[in-house]
C-alpha cells in the first residue's frame, strides 16, 4: 500500500471474537500499526462474544493500554456471530465502519482496497454505500468451499442476491446507510440478511477482491452443526416472511443503529 495514499477523516474498525485469546493481541497490534495509514482518526472495537478462554480480559487490558483507541463490547454469554456483528455496528462512532473477523484471516491493511472503492462522495452517482470483499483465493478446505457454492446459489435463487462472497468477513459501510435497517438473525445468516435488506432498501453495494489467509491460531466454529442449523432456519424464516408480507418482513428485527 502506498505510504502517501489519501486517508479518510475518521474510521471505526471492529472485530467479533469468540474464544480468540491466541489472536486478539496480535490483531489489535496489527490494527494499531495499519489504521493510522488509512484514517486521520480511528477506533478499534473488540466485540467479545461470551468467550471463556480469557479473550475478554486480554481485550480489556489492551483497552487500558491504549485509552481512546481501543474499546471492548462484552456479551456475558455467547450470542452468535450475527449478534456480535450487530453489537460492533451499533458501537461504532465514526461515519465509516469496517470489520474483519477476529481469526486474522484478513489483513487490516487490505481494508485500503475497500476504502479506495468507496472514495466517491456519498450521494454521487454510483457511489457505494457498502463495499464487501470477496476472497480472491479462499484458504478453506474443499468441503467448506462446496458448501459456500451451494449457499451462494441458494441466495441467488431465493433472494436474488448476486454477490460473489456474501460471507466474506471484510466489509465497509457508510454508517448512515444502516439507518432504518432492522435485522433478526443472531447467527451466521446475519451477513446475508443485512445485505438483502440494504439492497432492497436501495443502497448501492460494491465488491472488491481481497486476499484470504489460513487461520494460524485458535479454532474455527463456523462449521459447527448448530451454527449451520441456525443459519438454515434464519434463511427460510426470512424467505417465508418475504413471501407472506414483504414490507412487514423487511421491518422485522432490531434496528442496526439505535
pLDDT for residue 210? 95
Under DSSP, the state recorded for 124 is S
Computed over every residue of the chain, the mean pLDDT equals 91
Query: Are the CB atoms for 215 and 105 separated by under 8 Å?
Result: yes
Query: Are the CB atoms for 147 and 64 separated by under 8 Å?
Result: no
Does residue 56 carry a pLDDT above 70? yes
Query: Which of 126, 100, 116, 121 is closest to 211 using CA atoms?
Result: 100
Tell me the per-residue pLDDT of 205-237, one tens digit each, with 9 for 90 and over: 999 999 998 877 756 655 578 888 999 999 999
pLDDT for residue 2? 45
d(CA 31, CA 20): 16
How many percent of the chain have pLDDT more than 70? 94
* CB within 8 Å of 18: residues ≥ 6 apart: 48, 49, 50, 51, 55, 78, 81, 84, 102, 221
Cell representation of residue 28: 489489535
Tell me the per-residue pLDDT of 24-53, one tens digit each, with 9 for 90 and over: 999 999 999 999 999 999 999 999 999 999
Three-state DSSP state, 70: strand
Query: Which of 201, 208, 193 is closest to 159 using CA atoms?
Result: 193
Tell me how far apart the 2 most distant CA atoms of the chain are, in Å. Answer: 52
Q: Which domains does the chain have, with CATH numbers?
A: 8-255 (3.90.550.10)
Report pTM.
Answer: 0.91
Question: For 167-180, what is the mean pLDDT?
Answer: 95
Following CA atoms 89, 183, 213, 31 in sequence, which dihedral angle do they give, to the nearest 10 degrees?
0
Amino acid at each position: 500500500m502506498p505510504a502517501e495514499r489519501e486517508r479518510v477523516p475518521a474510521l471505526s474498525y471492529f472485530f467479533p471474537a469468540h474464544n480468540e485469546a491466541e489472536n486478539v493481541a496480535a490483531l489489535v497490534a496489527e490494527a494499531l500499526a495499519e489504521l493510522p495509514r488509512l484514517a486521520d482518526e480511528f477506533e478499534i472495537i473488540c466485540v467479545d462474544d461470551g468467550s471463556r478462554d480469557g479473550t475478554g480480559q486480554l481485550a480489556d487490558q489492551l483497552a487500558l493500554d491504549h485509552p481512546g483507541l481501543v474499546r471492548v463490547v462484552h456479551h456475558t454469554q455467547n450470542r452468535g456471530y450475527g449478534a456480535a456483528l450487530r453489537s460492533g455496528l451499533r458501537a461504532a462512532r465514526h461515519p465509516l465502519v469496517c470489520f474483519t473477523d477476529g481469526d486474522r484471516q484478513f489483513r487490516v491493511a487490505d481494508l485500503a482496497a475497500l476504502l479506495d472503492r468507496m472514495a466517491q462522495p456519498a450521494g454521487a452517482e454510483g457511489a457505494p454505500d457498502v463495499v464487501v470483499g470477496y476472497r480472491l483465493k479462499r484458504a478453506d478446505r474443499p468441503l467448506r468451499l462446496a458448501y459456500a457454492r451451494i449457499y451462494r446459489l441458494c441466495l441467488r435463487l431465493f433472494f436474488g442476491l448476486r454477490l460473489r462472497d456474501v460471507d466474506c468477513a471484510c466489509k465497509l459501510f457508510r454508517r448512515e446507510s444502516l439507518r432504518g435497517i432492522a435485522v433478526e438473525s443472531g447467527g451466521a445468516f446475519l451477513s446475508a440478511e443485512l445485505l438483502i435488506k440494504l439492497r432492497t432498501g436501495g443502497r448501492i453495494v460494491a465488491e472488491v477482491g481481497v486476499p484470504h489467509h489460513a487461520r494460524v491460531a485458535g479454532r474455527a466454529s463456523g462449521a459447527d452443526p448448530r451454527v449451520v442449523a441456525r443459519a438454515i432456519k434464519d434463511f427460510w424464516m426470512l424467505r417465508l416472511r418475504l413471501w407472506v408480507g414483504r414490507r412487514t418482513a423487511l421491518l422485522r428485527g432490531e434496528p442496526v443503529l439505535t
